[in-house]
Amino acid sequence: MGVPGRKGRCSCSAPSDKDHLLLLLILFLPMLLPMVESRTLNYTRHTQTSTLRLQRITRHLDKINKPPSADGDVIDCVHKRKQLALDHPLLKNHKIQKMPTEMPRGMMKVNEGDEGESMAWQTWHLNGTRCPKGTVPIRRSTVHDVLRAKSLYDFGKKRSRLVPLSRRNDAPDVLSANGHEHAIAYTGSSQEMYGAKATINVWDPSIQVMNEFSLSQLWILSGSFDGTDLNSIEAGWQVSPELYGDSRPRLFTYWTSDSYRATGCYNLLCAGFIQTNSRIAIGAAISPVSSYGSNQYDITILIWKDPKVGNWWMSFGDKTLVGYWPAELFTHLAEHATMVEWGGEVVNSRSNGQHTFTQMGSGHFAEDGFGKASYFRNLQIVDMDNSLSSVQSISTLAENSNCYDIKSFYSNEWGTYFYYGGPGNNPQCP
Active-site residues, by number, are: 234, 345
CA distances from 211 to 16, 71, 245, 324 (A): 46, 21, 10, 29
List the alpha helices (DSSP H) in 157-311.
241-244
The count of residues in the chain is 430
Count of other CB atoms within 10 angstroms of residue 386? 21
Q: Determine the Cα–Cα distance for residues 86 and 270; give it in Å rounded to an integer.
A: 10
- Residues whose CB is less than 8 angstroms from the CB of residue 77 and which lie 6 or more positions away in sequence, other chains included: 131, 132, 135, 136, 137, 138, 278
Q: Is-contact 33 45, C-beta < 8 A?
A: no
Report, in angstroms and rounded to the nearest whole number, the Rg of the chain calculated over CA atoms.
Answer: 24
Q: Which residues pair with 398 in a beta bridge?
A: 183
Peptide bond into 67 cis (omega under 30): yes
Sign of the C-alpha dihedral, residues 222, 224, 225, 230? Answer: negative
List the alpha helices (DSSP H) in 250-325.
none
Q: Which of 315, 319, 313, 247 is nearest to 286 (CA)?
A: 247
Q: Which of 367, 375, 373, 371 is nearest to 414 (CA)?
A: 375
